[in-house]
Amino acid sequence: MSYYIAKTLDQDFDATVREVTERLKERGFGVLTDIDVQATLKAKIGAEMPKYRILGACNPRLAHQALQSETRLGVLLPCNVIVRETAEHRVEVASVDPVTSLERTGNESLRETAEKVRGELAAVIEALGR
């Protein structure tokens, strides 16, 4: 089982970030964090790398539901979605697979919520570029 859900697109990087953010919003997610990995690594250690952003997405309703079952679940939140430029100058969007992630807790009561989140994130990624 893969730990992520992904799709590669032939479109502009910044436009893809905007589209991902909008599609997440349509599915009830907000972007709590937006980390520009390329700029951060350049500033901190002088590293050169392709464009790479990490969007920390959260669906408050589903996060609340999961936190009721597992109070320490916050260590695995929010759901990260990456937008990165590939070596072929395409744009890959990938999200964590919450089912795989939450299996680490050993709390079977989280499965239903994790499957809902996976379905929503998969729908976001599937809709990109249409």
Domain ranges (residues) in the chain: 4-127
Q: CA-CA distance, 23 to 85, in Å (whole number)?
A: 19
Q: CA-CA distance, 60 to 66, in Å (whole number)?
A: 10
| Residues of the chain with confidence (pLDDT) below 50 | none
Own/partner contacts of 57-61, CB < 8 Å, gap of 24 or more, are 57/24, 57/29, 57/30, 57/31, 57/32, 57/81, 57/95, 57/121, 58/29, 58/30, 58/32, 59/27, 59/28, 59/29, 59/30, 59/117, 59/120, 60/28, 60/30, 61/28
Q: Which CATH class is domain 4-127?
A: alpha beta
What pLDDT sits at residue 23?
98
Q: CA-CA distance, 87 to 99, in Å (whole number)?
A: 29
In this structure, the number of other CB atoms found within 10 A of the CB of residue 71 comes to: 7
What pLDDT sits at residue 43?
98
In this structure, the number of other CB atoms found within 10 A of the CB of residue 22 comes to: 10
For the chain, the straight-line distance linking the first and the last C-alpha, in angstroms and rounded, comes to 27
pTM score: 0.95
What pLDDT sits at residue 1?
61
